[in-house]
Amino acid sequence: MKNFNTHDLRLDTINNRGHLNTEKLNPKSKGLDKLSTESLVTLFNQEDKIPQESVERAKLSITNAIEAIYARVKKGGRLFYLGAGTSGRLGVLDAAECPPTFCCPPDLVNGLIAGGSDAMHRSSEYLEDNEEDGKLELIKYKFSSLDSLIGITAGGTTPYVIGALKYALDVNGLAIALACVSTDEAILPCTLDIRLETGPELLSGSTRLKAGTATKMTLNIISTALMIRLGKVYSNMMVDLSATNFKLIDRSLRILETLAKIDREKGIEVLRQASGSVKLALLISISKLDPESSIKLLEHHDGNLRSALDSIGCCIDES
């Protein structure tokens, strides 16, 4: 941990954040340390309904963010999540899960956290206090006007995130703020504003709880909806999948059984022809085209399986 020199500590350098709902005391959890284990579990379970409600209230701003990100990604842009502490870790987690889930390029969705990869495993909250660091992080990744940034800050006051949002605006990128307090409590520089008002935590100030839950739900929605818009899903199946281990081979074969109506033995054969690509294997199986023609057809339709099949008059029985 960084050495903190208390001799340099001055009251005028410390902003009072007591007005933020994420920092206030929760009246429901007075005497928290005296509750039985069962009572603790019950109380946490009751409070964990609030994140879902907060995401529901923010659905219009989340929708607008997805559409704006998609428009830029279609032009070659990338998506960046950026935050410190819990907020940063949640962004890194969601970004890391996109390539194996959707077979997307590893640099399409990026998770940046104050302190870098070490901060995923060790406390790094002291690194959030410099606006310049957020800006420099985006410069390092050559963030441009095509790119989208989601700056994640539960309390809406993290300098590292604010600096990055300002820089994104400066270069005409898409700057999306995601916070768990109202705009009255904390104003953030941004193009679009997502507010997940989760209220005071049961453990005062511990935003890894309700605020973290609401943030993870929202990032899940944003990245999954983006990939659906990009044609990486057919019906409710992740067809843009590469069969690279036993679990994924089994899932791939089940998808082929369901959509292409072929048995597992035939599925293995077609997966070999498609070099493990489920989407390509589906197109080969249903269209009866050879692999090379199927590849060209998919490319012509930007990788969208439904669009490719529709163009040649083929359809899948989804029942």
For residue 128, report the phi and psi dihedrals to the nearest 5 degrees: -90, -5
User: CA torsion angle for 185, 188, 193, 199 (degrees, to 10)?
Assistant: -30
For residue 264, report the phi and psi dihedrals to the nearest 5 degrees: -65, -35
What are the Cα distances from residue 3, in Å, to 8, 91, 125, 300?
12, 27, 13, 57
Identify whether the C-beta of residue 22 lies closer than 8 Å to the C-beta of residue 212: no
Instruction: Assess whether 97 carries a catalytic annotation.
Output: yes
Distance CA 160, CA 152 (A): 10
Cβ neighbour number for residue 268 with a 10 Å cutoff:
16
Cβ neighbour number for residue 50 with a 10 Å cutoff:
18
Distance CA 173, CA 144 (A): 6
Q: Which amino acid is at 131?
A: E
Instruction: Assess whether 131 carries a catalytic annotation.
Output: no
Identify whether the C-beta of residue 197 lies closer than 8 Å to the C-beta of residue 12: no
Distance CA 81, CA 4 (A): 28
Give the sign of the dihedral formed by CA 230, CA 235, CA 236, CA 242.
negative
Among candidates 207, 187, 225, which has minimal Cα distance to 89?
Answer: 207
- What length does the chain have? 319
Q: Give Cα 221 to chain centroid, integer Å.
A: 7
Catalytic residue of the set 53, 97, 125, 257: 97
Give the position of tokens 């539960």.
154
Give the position of tokens 């090379």.
292
Catalytic residue of the set 23, 47, 128, 131: 128
Catalytic residues: 97, 128
